[in-house]
Structure 1
Amino acid sequence: MKPFYFTLVLMLAAPLAAEELSKEDYLKEVNKAFSKIYEATNGKTLSAQLVALEALSVEYKDNKPVSDLLLQERGTAYSLMGRHQQALHAFDQHDPNPDELNTAVKNLVTRDAVTAILDASADYQVVMINEAHHVPQHRVLTYRLLKGLWENGYRYLAFEALAPDAEQELTNNYVHKKAGFYTEEPLFANLVLYARDLGFKLISYDYGAEIGTGTEARERSAVKNLREKVFDNEPDAKMVIHVGYSHINEDGWLAHYLKEALQLDPLTVNQTDFTERSHKRHEPESYTWLIENHDFDTPVVLTNNDGVFWSPTPEEYDITVVWPRTEYSLNRPNWARLDKELIPVNLDWCELNFPCAVEVYRMGEEEEVPADRIIITESSTPIGIFISESSRLVKVTDSQGNLINTVTVPLKESD
């Protein structure tokens, strides 16, 4: 099921102008649109969902809260489709104005993020890393950190994205679609499988809260679940927690309540403040300045000249991570490769059925989240897919989900 509860909260938080509907009428209007979105997308393929969301965007173009919700839904759909640039563009229409330059960044030093975070993690019991849910790139940082975190004694990996007790149903071979919503994105599924391969015990903990009870109730419930599943029995356990957006905030969100309950200070890592956008004009000015004045091709952290981590809001989080602008090969982000082989899609696989979904599987099971996915909308643009020794079974389906082709792709012969 889509995370409609969370997007509804965003809509209800939008202020009403005096000339707009009363709160009661506004809620009726929102609920009506909410139901319509669900009916138009539930059970549909990603391609069909996108068509429905675009049609609804036209219908609700003059309704700002609903229009914003639809942009978020479209951006999320694009991220699940392997369309990074379009996902960024959808969210940039929702929030087009860049943050102003924080002049403090002019005096900072950059350092490789993986090395720096691993070095720091040795002195902590809990590391929290956030993501923007429409940016699968942020899952890659956690993926790159996992082996070193394991070597530093971390044994548990908690995911906000997992459905309640989904870890009990995960197999060693693939991630099933019911594991969660965001875990249906291939990079997230790869992250889950890699963690399992390394030996991490996966933990679900975020079961939401009743509408109207607020952030505190949700976060306290999450802490209760983490304590009951891990810390009550193993108080010294070392845990990585991968969350969305503000849950790393040590001044009122999950990090705060975890710190309060366990009497520990988590290492909090933020990837969502100084970020790439679909166009330079939407970028935070601090991000643009850093990109134009530093040379880096991997994610970096920001420190002062003494090597101390810098955060624009140190009371909220500890470490600021900055990714370079995305570079593409065969119209796929290079950061999405995960050491796999990139090969061009044979567009004949779609047999002129556009849009078509090209998905790469490990096992080919019906309920399996693919190891890679790209939705192809037309026949003229070259596009690639990522394959590996363990994932090279390709299934091609039309917009209604009907199977068009199945191909087992050979790997390149080694020299």
Structure 2
Amino acid sequence: MILASRAVFLAALLVSASAAAQSFNPAELKLLQTIEHEPNTLARYQYLAREIPKLSADDRVLAMQFVSFSLDELGLYDQAVFSFPLRNQLPSNLTLPTQTDWKSANAVDVITSLAADRRIVMVNEAHHDTHTRVLTLELLPRLKAMGFNYFAAEALTDSDPGLAKRGYPTAKSGTEYLRDPVYGDIVRQAVRLGFIIVPYDNTLTGQARETGQAQALYEKVFAKDPHARLFVHAGYAHIDKVAGRLGDLRPMAMQLAALTGITPLSIDQTDFLETGVDPGDAYHQLAHEFPSSGAEVLLNRRTGLPWSDRPAAYDVNVIVPPSLSIQAFGVYKYGFRNDSMVGGLPHVDDSNAMQRADWLSLGGKRRAYPVDGALCRNSLPCVVDAYYADEPDDAIPADRYAFMGTKEATLLYLRPGSYRLRAKNIDGTTVSEYTITVAQR
């Protein structure tokens, strides 16, 4: 089962937002084969960190992509984006909107309104940027209340038929993307809200993958339930309704529309994506012109219609607010007070603070809980996982952070409730474990 999910994960790399397919040279194949056999994400990251200096400049591109995925899975979200600043090639005739003709609006509100008379809604993500997963989390309750009853997620596979009954995902539920706690939260919330969960990805590549995805969604949803309403969380250009961003490939959404006769509402978050702190790129120009504290879309002041820089491919561009900070690498110091800890956890005064983005609070639904490298018991690097108290250790954790140094300190973001904090070293050995309670405000 795990090998199958890894195959899907690797297949996903063959089709990116900017290229239809990718072939691997011997050095890259060796890299892929080696990391596939690493016992856990932390071990994979450490292996890549050692090997990257030995690789040629061309071979480093693939390695850095895997580094970004690993960092994302380890809860090092800003570091993941900084390590692989992926930028789509934008249309050559692009003219960015200005406030003269456009105004900002809340993305969730606008998408909910646009979805009122639609049967299929698709939202995409950048796989290494967890910030692009928050929109789906926010849309789930709104779309369910409107009558959407099926939820399909690209990271899920057919390997876990007990998921819906159990209520939480495990590593066996899907690909490596699912090991990100925020992705796990998406699946938990979809199950809790009563969505019928639909795995639909495959291990194919190129056009066969796009065709297989569309066929799976048709057969699992609309062929069985002609009145179904489907919410799809996908990657990159799979949501496109015309060819272009995947070269000559016919994207999944385009083919699903042909199979069902239903035109999807397609929402893009990857064309204008925060990839660094360069104030001159298109993303930062838009974020500066239309400042917002949450995900936004732009509406035409005359027509009220949403802006899309590729209107044939998708309906709406979503712009998430800037959140990247070099302080994620620990550039300033502060100390945690003893009474800020719960359950007698060890603490480190004068710790090197590894900042995490405020969006992890999910609009106040999760509370910040301080932790530090002392949990690792001098067995570094180590990963600290926060598991829901009523879920076993193979569940996807509620949050996670990887410590590389003893005097590092950071914040976990957790919903109110009881948790087990478990620290594991690179061998997967548990070095410490504590029970904590995150109180209501």
How far has the Cα of 1:95 moved from its partner?
5.5
Q: Which amino acid aligns with 2:397?
A: P
- Are the aligned partners of 1:100 and 1:286 in contact in 2 as well (CA < 8 Å)? no
1:177-326 aligned within 5 A: 177-181=171-175, 182-209=177-204, 211=205, 214-215=206-207, 217-251=208-242, 252-280=250-278, 285-305=281-301, 306-326=303-323
Mapped to 2, the partners of 1:142 and 1:413 lie a distance apart of: 24
- Residue in 2 that maps onto 1:5: 11
- 1:116 alignment counterpart: 110
- Closer, same or farther in 2 for the Cα pair 1:167/1:203, shift >3 Å? farther
Q: Which residue of 1 aligns with 2:123?
A: 129
Write the distance in 2 (CA, Å) between the matches of 1:168 and 1:348. Answer: 37
Work out which of the residue numbers 146, 150, 153 in structure 2 matches 1:152. Answer: 146
Aligned residue number for residue 385 of structure 1: 412
**Contact 2:422/2:432 (<8 A) preserved:** yes
Tell me which of 103, 118, 128 is aligned to 2:95: 103
TM-score calculated relative to the size of structure 1: 0.87
Asked whether the equivalents of residues 159 and 174 of structure 2 are also in contact (C-alpha less than 8 Å), the reply is: no
Structure 1 residue 36 displacement after superposition:
3.6
**Residue deviations 1:91-112, cap 9 Å, x none?**
12x6699998943412322110
Match of 1:344 in 2: 370
Q: CA deviation at 1:31?
A: 4.1
> 1:150-184 CA deviation, whole Å, 9 max, x = no partner?
11100000111111353544543421111112111
**How many Å separate the matches in 2 of 1:146 and 1:167?**
21
2:53 maps to a residue whose letter is V
Distance 1:158 1:173, change over 3 A: closer
User: 1:229 is matched by which residue type in structure 2?
Assistant: K
Counterpart residue number, 1:49:
44
Q: Which runs of 5+ in 1 are unaligned?
A: 17-26
Q: Distance in 1 between matches of 2:20 and 2:232?
A: 29
Q: Which amino acid aligns with 1:50?
A: Y
- What value does the CA root-mean-square deviation take over the aligned residues? 2.7
Structure 2 residue aligned with 1:20: none
* Distance apart, 1:302 and its partner CA: 1.6
SS at match of 2:384: strand
1:4: Cα distance to partner?
1.9
Tell me by how many angstroms 1:347 deviates: 3.1
Show the counterpart of 1:83: 76
- The 1:246–1:347 alpha-carbon spacing in structure 2 relative to 1, beyond 3 Å, is same
TM-score by length of 2: 0.82
Q: Is the 8 A contact 1:167 1:202 kept in 2?
A: no
Listed one character per residue, the Cα deviations across residues 130-151 of structure 1 (whole Å, up to 9, x for unaligned) are: 0000011111101101111011
Supply the AA of the counterpart residue of 1:191.
I
Q: Shift in Å at residue 293 of structure 1?
A: 2.0
Select which of 375, 387, 397 maps to 2:424.
397
Alignment partner of 1:335: what SS? Answer: helix
In structure 1, the residue matched to 2:170 is 176
8 Å contact from structure 2 (residues 383, 425) kept in 1: yes
Q: Which residue of 1 aligns with 2:34?
A: 39
CA drift of 1:203 comes to 0.1
Deviates more, 1:101-110 or 1:299-308: 101-110
SS at structure 1 position matched to 2:25: helix
Q: By how many angstroms is 1:412 displaced?
A: 3.7
**Between 83-92 and 30-39, the greater mean CA deviation after superposition:** 30-39
Q: Partner of 1:395: helix, strand, or coil?
A: strand
Query: Which has the higher mean CA deviation after the structures are superposed, 218-227 or 99-108?
Result: 99-108
Unaligned runs of 5+ in 2: 243-249, 329-353
Query: 1:164 touches 1:207 (CA, 8 Å); kept in 2?
Result: no
Size of the aligned set, in residue pairs, is: 394
Instruction: Decide which moves more: 110-119 or 167-176.
Output: 167-176
